[in-house]
């Protein structure tokens, strides 16, 4: 293979059989189960990186069931998103979510999510299922139970407008790619949006959440103090590509 061929083909690893196709990635009937809870604000400030600012003392613990995803197939994901504020160089203040942790059961979105956007994805076994009148989410890391979440199924329908507005907010994460000597080659704050959202329904109900200690799955580092709200919604959407808004290796230079 010629050098020019390598350059032309290089998109993802492995070179001759990439782990995932090129975007865009579209999701149909994506099911969200989100429990918002209060936690230790000092611990929030310790894990959210500048220039992001923590907003309040809450965390959104999310289970996401994706039965039909272009390029990625059928999989389930779970993790923690922290409400944050970001001020652009122009002075615009954006409120969104910092993606703190993600656990899922499918190799392609793990590889693609980490390499393209910088999603903090790790391999685990999340489940989201309906058990009679209850929506149930669990996360096992190996054989160990790390999360149990429950919610009354579709107790009250929600106005779709506020849910759609929340889904339109940006999300942020840290993309880290090491050099071959293990020094950071890329260390960037990335922002992305969901696009082409069609919200099909949204509900709320009573919710409960338990997080269990695990050395390699540290969801319990942000402990549950009080449940604020449990919501459940279904949507079609496209995962928008990211943009770098802060480069930690370029003298702290913001990008946009």
Catalytic residues, by residue number, are: 121
Pair 100, 174: CB distance under 8 Å:
no
Give 144's DSSP letter. Answer: E
Radius of gyration of the chain (CA): 19
Burial 213-225 (b: 16+ CB within 10 A, else e): ebeebbbebbebe
Pair 125, 145: CB distance under 8 Å:
no
Whole-number Å distance between alpha carbons of 214 and 146? 7
198-to-23, 158, 193, 195 alpha-carbon distances in Å: 19, 15, 14, 9
Whole-number Å distance between alpha carbons of 32 and 75? 13
Structure token digits, residue 148: 């149990």
In three-state secondary structure terms, 227 is strand
């Amino acid at each position: 293979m010629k050098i020019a061929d390598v350059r032309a083909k290089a998109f993802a690893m492995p070179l001759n059989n990439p782990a995932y196709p090129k975007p865009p990635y579209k999701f149909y009937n994506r099911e969200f189960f989100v429990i918002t809870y209060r936690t230790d604000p000092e611990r929030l400030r310790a894990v959210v990186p500048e220039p992001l600012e923590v907003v309040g003392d809450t965390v959104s613990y999310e289970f996401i069931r994706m039965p039909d995803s272009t390029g990625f197939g059928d999989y389930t994901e779970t993790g923690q998103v922290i409400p944050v504020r970001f001020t652009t160089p122009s002075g615009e203040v954006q409120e969104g979510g910092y993606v703190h942790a993600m656990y899922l059961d499918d190799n392609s979105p793990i590889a693609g999510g980490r390499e393209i956007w910088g999603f903090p994805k790790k391999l685990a076994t999340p489940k989201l299922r309906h058990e009679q009148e209850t929506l149930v989410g669990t996360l096992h890391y190996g054989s160990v139970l790390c999360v149990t979440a429950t919610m009354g199924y579709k107790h009250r329908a929600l106005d779709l407008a506020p849910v759609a507005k929340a889904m339109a907010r940006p999300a942020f994460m840290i993309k880290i790619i090491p050099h071959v000597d293990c020094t950071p080659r890329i260390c960037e704050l990335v922002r992305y949006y969901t696009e082409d959202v069609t919200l099909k329904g949204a509900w709320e109900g009573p919710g409960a959440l338990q997080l269990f200690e695990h050395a390699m799955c540290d969801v319990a580092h942000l402990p549950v103090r009080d449940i604020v709200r449990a919501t459940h919604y279904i949507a079609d959407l496209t995962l928008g590509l990211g943009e770098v808004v802060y480069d930690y290796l370029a003298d702290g230079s913001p990008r946009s």
